[in-house]
Amino acid sequence: MVPGYAHRPGNHCGSTALRNLLAFDGVEISEEMALGLGAGLCFYYVPVEGESPSRFTNGRVARLEEQFVELTALPLRLRTFDGPEASWEAARATVDAGRPALLLTDLYYLDHYGKSAHFPGHAVVLAGYDDELAYLSDTGFGELQTTRLEHLARARHGEHPVFALAGHALTVDEPGRLFDPRRAAPAAIARNARQMIEPAIGEFEGLPALRRFAAEVGAWPERISDWRWSARFCYQVIERRGTGGGNFRLMYSRFLAECGREEAEPAADAAARWTALAGALLAASEAEDPRPELWRRVDELAEAVLEAEERLWPALAVRA
């Protein structure tokens, strides 16, 4: 076990893991600050034919940890590996040196989750191991969780088409050079606005993806056979799966408030609209057959979300 590592639960995997990793070396920031400094908000809407759910959405950027390192310039090291043996040797060596390691996984393969859906990019902190088990510091759990070493290996090298993993690991290699990263907030806010307005992958990301989503989601029962599971999964990734509520927008509003930004209020409004949409998707998913009035409500609330997001991000870009 890593001596002195303290597991502190949080809302979201990446921001909780980053906060706890830095706290081990005495750098204390809020989980919301960790999310914001990684320019952590985004929106993805990707059809994944042959998978279920067949419509993948997510409200945070895929490369949160990588962007956190880049934007803060903290002495953190993000590595990938050719295979499970090399990635485990590096992680084990970090623990043997008395230090924690942040690992990216597909939680589908972790023993403490049910195999309901693949979710690649889930961050945990490796706090210890034995001959059979890894001891993981994981988001909202009150205590360290265990998973078998062979399952952790599979989780770290998942090949999901949305986010393939290659043993991604983040470590603090020079703790004596750490500093307060909050001075990076203006640059992180500017990056976040830019990746929403002019996303790198076009119509699958940012506001373009949200416009497609808002135009299509109300017609899911007519377009896809797994409309019930896609709607329920979408509800979960907006409101329950580590988002802190409102598709990460509620956490981001608190980050903006911590930075003294007046856009905290419209971010909170966007969060409330996402929460309302999630509730409508849940209700629609619970009907055995598509109920037109429920899907009209989904359509209306998706448009309301789009309206709020199209106000928020240009406002942040103007003041960047």
Q: What is the pLDDT tens value at each position of the chain, 320 positions in all?
A: 999 999 999 999 999 999 999 999 999 999 999 999 999 999 999 998 888 899 999 999 988 999 999 999 999 999 999 999 999 999 999 999 999 999 999 999 999 997 877 878 899 999 999 999 999 999 989 999 999 999 999 999 988 766 789 999 999 989 999 999 999 999 999 999 999 999 998 899 999 999 999 999 999 999 999 999 999 999 999 999 889 999 999 999 999 999 999 999 999 999 999 999 999 999 999 999 999 999 999 999 999 999 999 999 999 998 76
Pick from 123, 145, 173: which residue ends a domain? 173
Instruction: Please tell me the total number of residues recorded for the chain in this structure.
Output: 320
Alpha helices per DSSP H over the chain: 13-23, 31-37, 64-72, 84-96, 149-156, 185-197, 206-216, 220-223, 227-239, 249-258, 264-285, 292-318
pTM of the model: 0.93
The answer to whether position 55 is within a domain reads: no
103, 126 contact by CB (below 8 A): yes
Fill in the amino acid letter for 310.
E
Last residue within a domain, chosen from 173, 196, 223: 173
**DSSP tag of 120:** E
Same-domain check for residues 20 and 113 = yes
Same-domain status, 189 and 310? yes
Q: What are the φ/ψ torsions at residue 3 (nearest 5 degrees)?
A: -65, 130
Whether 239 maps to a domain, the answer reads yes
Q: Which of 309, 73, 65 is nearest to 193 (CA)?
A: 309
Q: Does one domain contain both 162 and 263?
A: no
pLDDT digits (tens, 9 = 90+) for 32-49: 999 999 999 999 999 988
Quote the number of domains for the chain: 2
What span, in angstroms and rounded, lies between the C-alpha atoms of 181 and 187?
11
List CB contacts of 307: < 8 A, sequence separation 6 or more.
none
Does 164 share its domain with 210? no
Looking at the structure, tell me whether residues 196 and 313 fall in a common domain: yes
Same domain for 19 and 121, yes or no, is yes
Contact criterion met (CB below 8 Å) for 127 and 152: no
